[in-house]
A and B are shown apart, each in its own frame.
Chain A
């Protein structure tokens, strides 16, 4: 019994138990990580990293479905946090299909002979994008995490050999796709290397992993990600940014509905 007394005393001295505002686990990270920033600070750092003024990228999506693997390539023009235009380049069946996001609205375009622009809303938002583990809802989501979530640092862990802060996020309002998220954020590069997205019931809906990153213009950006829809039976979707240009000029007419038929 005597050997437990120092442990209990130490615990009583810990600010979490002594009435400090931070949870106990948040005070001390893994060896060498020091005292963590607050949850809000971490989200701000992630937002700074991932939010771009403009970017033109070429992307590859490898969907590992139940009935095989499909590779889909696309080109994306993105301006700010809520305007984007995507054109699918391959495979032949998907070539020429386009997608436009303007704020919280989303349209898809299917080329001739169908030549249809369809507004994606309601339950269609939950449908998979090109059969991947990403939903349209994921695409329309506002990536400004600080605005949408309260965050609390739950401790530190090592993920893929990188020191990470584990952050529990809870939605501030109902208008988000995922009520709760747990992210493991690289403590030096401020990228969410792993993430679990959950429903209000606590059910795990989706996981994401950043498996490769690159540095450009003083910021770290994901190069290769893996998404897994936990309600689907597939093996997940790899999303690879083949190239990205943060300085490319994007004409305004590119981000209009008229551009879908061009």
Chain B
């Protein structure tokens, strides 16, 4: 019967083309929507992790309380001893120290007087250490606009927008004015090695990136760092593993606890990301549910319309002696084939569009100009295993249920009425 129905569907375009097209479009749209939202969430987590939070982060308790003030007077001390211990205790994780700085970047003229000055946010990372993956992790190579990455101490990277605003060029001296870990004014000269465009509005405005050893010297914090970030391999965040590692680390911290006791927090514990992720997941679930529900209704309706349109044909089939049950089952089987066919073509089309959005992305920089959220200006979709079969839910169920509902009318048909319809 399957072969017979397939032939019927292929030969009669009215029976196949329109329903399959509707299912294809519905399924494809559902998949693109799912992949794009998934990509948005994933990008938010990834950007925050690599630029700010890590997958886990170690800070002092005092630092954690007022982290937004970048309190480097409450920085971790003795990190040269901590890092090997972390690598030993948590193999597989990558640990790296960072210092965040707020201050001013001052561009001097020939006489050493201020020519231009602007507030800056600085990130000190291990740029020059042997085997450091920080440049790769921060994707500095791809973000480079002019110049090169720092190769020797005393060199910094400045965001392209900031450098342009200050009128500073490659090779020029820039003085970082900040506060030492003791609170006194820190003044340190650097040479601008290159300029960057991160593609993240919050960072492109006024960011400076320097090697951590230079900043440790400038801020008078030898062997110190504001934060130690931990990353899972391949930058894939594992929420349960992060919780497990943080619990294990925090249990092992020596008592009594004070402002300088280290504490490990997970990505979820920082910047309200936990609440954000929960809320975003809930909203995405609601949006997807509503969308899939609406799509199911549309496809159901298409199945319904298709069934009603074929009342004449059904009448003839009943008139020539085909049983009502057989007609109903054949319609259901036919709808199943349409659903399968539409879901396959829709999934293929949806995955193709999602793949394009995954590779090229959607530019939202216009919306992010004043934003302080660490999220890329180009949002990319993300195809995950679920994307390969999630479209079958509305595609198959909607079509099947629609046809099942419309087909119920078959059992209400009276033979006398059928002949009247045929005569008309």
Is the CB of B365 closer than 8 A to any CB of chain A? no
Contact with B along A122-156 (1 / 0, CB 8 A): 00100111111000000000000000000000000
Contact with A along B166-183 (1 / 0, CB 8 A): 000000000101011111
**Which of B21-29, B106-114, B350-358, B371-379 contacts the other chain?**
B106-114
Check B180–A131 contact: CB distance below 8 A.
yes
Check A67–B182 contact: CB distance below 8 A.
yes
Partner of B187, one of A116, A131, A132: A116
A114–B185 alpha-carbon span in the complex (Å): 13
Interface size on B, residues (CB 8 A): 24
- Contacts A63-B182, A234-B183 aside, 12 further interface pairs with beta carbons under 8 A come to A63-B183, A66-B259, A114-B188, A115-B112, A116-B187, A118-B175, A119-B114, A124-B104, A127-B179, A130-B183, A131-B180, A132-B183
User: With contacts A115-B112, A118-B114, A127-B179 known, is A66 near B185, CB below 8 A?
Assistant: no
Is the CB of B214 closer than 8 A to any CB of chain A? no
Partner of B108, one of A66, A116, A127, A132: A116
Majority DSSP secondary structure for residues of A touching B: loop
Check B175–A129 contact: CB distance below 8 A.
no
Is the CB of A203 closer than 8 A to any CB of chain B? no
Contact with A along B94-121 (1 / 0, CB 8 A): 0000000000101010001110000000
Check A129–B184 contact: CB distance below 8 A.
yes
Contacts of B111-166 to chain A: CB distance below 8 A: 112-114
Contact with B along A85-121 (1 / 0, CB 8 A): 0000000011000000000000010100111111100
Contacts of A108 in B (CB 8 A): 185, 187
Partner of B112, one of A65, A66, A117: A117
Is the CB of B265 closer than 8 A to any CB of chain A? no
Binding site for B on A (CB under 8 A): 63, 65-67, 70, 93-94, 108, 110, 113-119, 124, 127-132, 232-234
Check A65–B73 contact: CB distance below 8 A.
yes
- How far is the CB of A67 from the nearest CB of chain B, in Å? 6
Contacts of A115 in B (CB 8 A): 112, 189
Contacts of B93 in A (CB 8 A): none
Majority DSSP secondary structure for residues of B touching A: mixed
Contacts of B189 in A (CB 8 A): 113-116
Is the CB of B31 closer than 8 A to any CB of chain A? no
Contacts of B263 in A (CB 8 A): none
Contacts of A113 in B (CB 8 A): 189
Across chains A and B, the number of contacting residue pairs, with CB separation under 8 Å, is: 68
Contacts of B187 in A (CB 8 A): 108, 110, 114, 116, 118
Is the CB of B62 closer than 8 A to any CB of chain A? yes
Check B182–A117 contact: CB distance below 8 A.
no
User: With contacts A65-B73, A116-B106, A118-B114 known, is A131 near B175, CB below 8 A?
Assistant: no
Contacts of A66 in B (CB 8 A): 62, 73-74, 259
Contacts of B74 in A (CB 8 A): 66-67
Is the CB of B220 closer than 8 A to any CB of chain A? yes
A117–B183 alpha-carbon span in the complex (Å): 19
Partner of B220, one of A93, A110, A233: A93
User: With contacts A67-B73, A116-B189, A117-B113 known, is A128 near B181, CB below 8 A?
Assistant: no
Closest to A123 in B: B119
Check B179–A128 contact: CB distance below 8 A.
yes
A108–B177 alpha-carbon span in the complex (Å): 11
Partner of B183, one of A93, A124, A128: A128
- How far is the CB of B219 from the nearest CB of chain A, in Å? 11
Check A118–B184 contact: CB distance below 8 A.
no
Contacts of B184 in A (CB 8 A): 94, 128-132
Partner of A127, one of B62, B112, B185: B185
A102–B188 alpha-carbon span in the complex (Å): 24
Check A114–B175 contact: CB distance below 8 A.
yes
A232–B71 alpha-carbon span in the complex (Å): 11
A116–B114 alpha-carbon span in the complex (Å): 9
